[in-house]
Structure 1
Amino acid sequence: MLKREIPSLGVTVSRLGFGAMRMPERDGKIERVEATRMIAHMFEAGVTYFDTAYPYHNGESEEMLAGALRRFPRERFFLADKLPFLEYKSEADYKAVTEEQFSRLGMDYIDFHLLHAMNAKRWKFFKEIGVPQYQQELKRQGRIRFAGFSFHDSPEALEQILNDQPDWDFVQIQLNYFDWASSLRSGELYNMLADRGIPIIVMEPLRGGMLASLPPYAQDIIATRLPGVTPASLAYRWVGSLPYVDVILTGASTIAQAKENTAVFEDFSPLTQKEYDVIDEVLAAIAAKPSVPCTGCRYCVSACPQGINIPQVFYIYNEQGKFDCDGTTHWRYLNEMKPQERAENCIECGACVSQCPQKIDIPEELKVARKTIGEACKRAAAAESK
């Protein structure tokens, strides 16, 4: 297994880490026999970094992962866990949830401790109630070894966090070849952390599995130009070829996926120029798919009397058009959007149109988006019921 020394932390970790967010399930619960086999395979293949979080699998992930790891010597693996962003009001609430996490884990310390899913708004709230200071106190007590955060926001928000508190031990970001230059601007996040010498943990190298199960038009490009190379291995190796990435998390859901992913890092080879060219072809093919040219400026949102989250509707619609991702579309539309924010609430008043710098006919595009998303949600629901 490919390893990586992180001099600033004084540790050597496996380049591949296991993220316990998408473990196999049965009837809404973790399928423990299969999950235990998968975790054991990861450890025996040389994976040393194991990541979980308070809300994963409805609170079951922490206990499940820790139980599966307990059979192995504690000094031979690194455990990462996250302080959740929930509707708490004080530092005391976060202290209570931390104690609950340690109880679930049944371990004396957490190696990599993260403030979960930071963005500008959450960081502001955490600062106000003293959570960063509490995290540092946990470090002084030896209950955590390294203090960091996972991040979901703009480069400007990341810069603010790093300016407010420069001495982070590590940061976890979403990074893959699609999001490098997309509206998520992941390449800017990577470069900012690299410039500051902050160790980088990568989540979503397959973009929630979408880069592993590309639509046929994109898979055909890879199969034709790179026979025998899978889309998943290509995506993992793209991230692994970046010089300042330390750990790349896999959210494997089956033992077969776990074996494929560990194989990539057991005999790792950086991407060749031909492989970079093929990825460029895939990106060009995805970009050529029809989409709404929304930049996410949100001027339309402030004008909408219904409170529709127009940029998010268009984002989900564009993703569906590019990736044919029914399941992801279904989940995002129902879970990431409040009912009042959805496209079906449009009354076609046109108030948004004059506010759009891109001159998009928003009411007409929302009709199309609503129809496309609705059909994807129906297909996903039908597939889940089988």
Structure 2
Amino acid sequence: MNQNIMPASKMGFGCMRLPLLDESDVASIDIELFKQMVDAFMEAGNTYFDTAFVYHNGASETALREALVKRYPRESFTLATKCLAWAMPDGESAKNCLDVSLERLGTDYVDYYLLHNVGGKRTAKFDEYGMWDFVQREKEAGRIRFAGFSMHDNADTLDQLLTAHPEMDFVQLQVNYLDWDDPHNKASRLMEVAQKHGKPVIIMEPARGGRLCNLPPQAAQVLEKAAPEAGQAQWAYRFCWNLPGVLSVLSGMSNLQQTHENVASYRDNVPFSPAEQAALDEAVAVLRSLASVPCTSCNYCVKGCPANVQIPKVMELLNLEAMTNDHQFVKDLYSWQTAEGPASACIQCGACEAMCPQQIDIINQLKRAAEKYE
């Protein structure tokens, strides 16, 4: 692993959920409060800030210019931003994202530039627009220091992408203790693939979008008994900080209290003791027991589906709501994670149920998902 790619610490500041002056306006970032958060983060010795072309409708990047870039020496921090080429109408627009991001950020280079949300049918747009070669040219020009990509997909897809693009410097993946051995997401396999290709990993969703900071009582009590003083977020972050091959662990912070708590947790970070690991394993088992659909993500159902319904993903989201008791969070995930084949596209042919080794009543479960999330 190229040691020059490593930031000063593994604590990353995710700038996707910044504090707002007006909750109805995602661009109304409270700059003065954000400055205090940046100061607390930097004073604790952390340097990694993560944003994207689309966060807060672009205001996240301009907020970083005001709160960070204008107030600290450029060499004292590292910046990451991203391009959603698949959402752009053409290659010129996709490539122009870098120019816009640099202008918004008020800098002439970014440390980490990501091709954002590669995977599935979206990868074709990155290929069509020549984005892989583009980021390498921009590295040579000095406007990008390190190029990578983010993805919400499986380990086989990651392996294929890194085999096709060994020139990429790093990857950004969803990893957390709930997904680690999950049959759908299998975050442990993602980490194994990245390690096989020698790529460091930026971890996103270490707390599963905040869901691991708001556990159901049955799971929360297990962790509280093992470490009464530790917060639920600390359990989630410690799991990720101490994994091998980690470049940075992103934490989306929305207020000053979260910033203080997170930097304090990182300052005190140590690997789990055997007793703590056992408690975490027990908490995960409790969460798994709350799942309502016995899907193992074997994907047999998908192969025979004439409507291309994303059946395993729908089952996963039904289980996620059962485990987290957060309907709105899961509904928001559903809106984009099943876009290629929502539950309502089911024609009730029964091919999936005939193939399912777990004998799940898939048609009824799809009806339930459509009613809940569409």
TM, length-normalised to structure 1? 0.87
Whole-angstrom distance in 2 between the partners of 1:33 and 1:154: 40
Whole-angstrom distance in 1 between the partners of 2:224 and 2:136: 49
Quote the offset at 1:131 in angstroms: 1.0
Q: Aligned residue for 1:384? A: none
Contact persistence 1:9–1:169 (CA under 8 A): no
Letter in 1 for 2:195: A
Deviations 1:51-83 (A, max 9, x none): 100111122211112221121111100001112
Q: Aligned residue for 2:290? A: 289
Whole-angstrom distance in 2 between the partners of 1:16 and 1:167: 25
Q: Aligned residue for 1:205? A: 206
Quote the offset at 1:310 in angstroms: 3.2
* 2:320 counterpart SS class: helix
Q: Aligned residue for 2:318? A: 317
Contact persistence 1:179–1:185 (CA under 8 A): yes
Q: Aligned residue for 2:61? A: 62
Q: Aligned residue for 1:125? A: 125
Contact persistence 2:13–2:250 (CA under 8 A): yes
Whole-angstrom distance in 2 between the partners of 1:162 and 1:58: 30
Deviations 1:276-323 (A, max 9, x none): 000000011111124212234555456556664433332221101111
* 1:43 counterpart SS class: helix
Contact persistence 1:350–1:363 (CA under 8 A): yes
Q: Aligned residue for 2:16? A: 21
Contact persistence 2:310–2:343 (CA under 8 A): yes
Q: Aligned residue for 2:187? A: 186
Letter in 2 for 1:43: M
Whole-angstrom distance in 1 between the partners of 2:348 and 2:129: 42
Q: 1:335 to 1:242 in 2, by over 3 A?
A: closer
Whole-angstrom distance in 2 between the partners of 1:196 and 1:340: 31
Letter in 2 for 1:86: W
Aligned residues: 368
> Which shows bigger deviation, 280-289 or 114-123?
114-123
Q: Aligned residue for 1:84? A: 84
* 1:293 counterpart SS class: coil
* 1:194 counterpart SS class: helix
Q: 1:118 to 1:228 in 2, by over 3 A?
A: same
Quote the offset at 1:155 in angstroms: 0.9
Deviations 1:11-58 (A, max 9, x none): 542110101011123222323332232222212222101010011112
5+ residue gaps, structure 1, are 1-5, 378-386
Contact persistence 1:51–1:81 (CA under 8 A): yes
Matches within 5 A, 1:136-175: 136-175=136-175
Quote the offset at 1:366 in angstroms: 3.4
Whole-angstrom distance in 2 between the partners of 1:173 and 1:14: 18
1:267 aligned to 2:268? yes
Query: Aligned-pair RMSD on alpha carbons?
Result: 2.4
> Which shows bigger deviation, 160-169 or 34-43?
34-43
Q: Aligned residue for 1:237? A: 238
Whole-angstrom distance in 1 between the partners of 2:36 and 2:5: 30
Letter in 1 for 2:311: I
